[in-house]
Amino acid sequence: MLPNTGRLAGCTVFITGASRGIGKAIALKAAKDGANIVIAAKTAQPHPKLLGTIYTAAEEIEAVGGKALPCIVDVRDEQQISAAVEKAIKKFGGIDILVNNASAISLTNTLDTPTKRLDLMMNVNTRGTYLASKACIPYLKKSKVAHILNISPPLNLNPVWFKQHCAYTIAKYGMSMYVLGMAEEFKGEIAVNALWPKTGHPLQPDFFLDEYPEAVSKKVESTGAVPEFKEEKLQLQPKPRSGAVEETFRIVKDSLSDDVVKATQAIYLFELSGEDGGTWFLDLKSKGGNVGYGEPSDQADVVMSMTTDDFVKMFSGKLKPTMAFMSGKLKIKGNMALAIKLEKLMNQMNARL
């Protein structure tokens, strides 16, 4: 293999949470340039639901031309961070770039956020970023291309981004505030910036991005809704009339496959109000998948409540799930990560609805 001579060739990049997701994507991009990658992440053994470990990531990095150093690091543990930094210096001779990517998320309101989950977000997002930065800065100061990159959002003070998940927003904004502070503190020595991606296909604004700020504010003010859910047992209802909801589920059913089921592994329950409403389910756990009216045979992982009109708009791409959730039109109970997975399936539906 010919040596890589990209812009990052020979640079050492220390990335927290690099075993999967955005962290690994950044690692692979830098590796193609010929960079040395320190994979500082927790996953050493295969996870039953999440693909990738620090060792499989290392194999992928080396396959595209980079050099890898997998290190078991929980960013809440200062000693593990320090040990990984020492290994990086011993193996590669220095650190040129730090990417603070490790993060914890819980999109829950104040009363629904357990103290344990609050501590996790604060300790991983805010405290972990600070500890990793502090450990790497003495070595970054010696680099000619020193840079810290935090995967964190712009500091948007629109109340809509605090209302539904105050704790998570504050934990992520802590990372962004480090950018402001450290960029000024180490001006002329270390460049400090933040990166916050857009998501979806086609690209759409992620949380904290007011693409149309006035529209966001007006929609939230007009609804005044917060995510809350009734706990009583759902009652079976008479079969609804044929209409847009039934047609939407028919198209969803036609699009199901074993690959979709394997990639999702979740059961969704929809509580729809309005014409043709009622209780519907989308089973992406059973072989081949299934949809139907009423309750699923197994317990739902995610419950989504909204009007039938908004349901059809969301699956047809006319209403973005993020906007629906933040404005209170969509209420979610259950596993938020699995709720986000459903958005990928919605994107596949858009062209057919």
Q: Which two tokens stand for residue 216?
A: 């966001």
> CB neighbours (10 Å) of residue 203?
9
Q: Give 153's contacts (C-beta < 8 A, 6+ positions apart).
A: 172, 173, 176, 194, 196, 206, 207, 208, 209
Residue 270, SS3 per DSSP: strand
Q: Which long-range contacts (CB under 8 A, 24 or more apart) does 174-181 make?
A: 174/122, 174/125, 174/126, 174/129, 175/100, 175/103, 175/125, 175/126, 175/129, 175/150, 175/151, 176/150, 176/152, 178/129, 178/130, 178/133, 178/150, 179/148, 179/150, 179/152, 180/155
Is 168 among the catalytic positions?
A: yes
271, 304 contact by CB (below 8 A): yes
The phi, psi pair for 25, rounded to 5°, reads -60, -40
CA distance 253 to 247: 10
Q: Which two tokens stand for residue 26?
A: 């950044």
In the 8-state DSSP scheme, what is residue 93? S
Strands 191-194 and 147-150: parallel
User: CA 268: distance to chain centroid?
Assistant: 19
Catalytic pick among 139, 168, 173, 268 = 168
- DSSP H helical ranges for the chain: 21-32, 54-63, 78-92, 115-121, 128-140, 160-163, 166-185, 213-223, 244-254, 258-264, 308-315, 321-326, 336-349
CA distance 266 to 96: 41
- Amino acid identity at 3: P
- Amino acid identity at 90: K
Residues carrying an active site annotation: 168
